[in-house]
Amino acid sequence: MQKKTYDIPPQESKEKWFRSHLLGREVELCELYSLHPNDLDLLMAETAEIRSDIDGKEKNIGKYRTAGYFLELARIIEKRQLSDI
């Protein structure tokens, strides 16, 4: 299976990262386009968990918002990848 590549929009090339405990590293926003599907799934699960923790939102609004942005972009990328199969 050949993986289709996409141009990364300039606003997603800016330095924005998410510290993933499941992947054991920081993930740059632009890396979402090249993550292995299994890693993308793990990142989506982790960010969804953060977004579902309403109490955690009050403790760290920045992490909550970043997780939401990463989750939504990962969903878009996954949907695009599935439509290309």
In a domain, residue 5? The reply is no
Handedness of CA 21, 25, 29, 31 (dihedral sign): negative
Q: What is the mean pLDDT of residues 20-38?
A: 93
In a domain, residue 12? The reply is no
Question: Is a pLDDT exceeding 70 seen at residue 14?
Answer: no
pLDDT of residue 21: 95
Tokens read off for 20: 């993933």
- Give the integer Cα–Cα distance in Å for 67 and 36: 19
In a domain, residue 7? The reply is no
Residue numbers of the domain that contains 54: 18-83
Question: Is a pLDDT exceeding 80 seen at residue 85?
Answer: no
Question: Is a pLDDT exceeding 50 seen at residue 28?
Answer: yes
In a domain, residue 8? The reply is no
Strands 25-28 and 17-20: antiparallel
In a domain, residue 1? The reply is no
In a domain, residue 56? The reply is yes
pTM, two decimal places: 0.77
Cβ atoms of residues 59 and 45 within 8 Å: no
- Give the integer Cα–Cα distance in Å for 42 and 65: 18
pLDDT of residue 30: 86
pLDDT of residue 13: 54
Report the domain count for the chain: 1
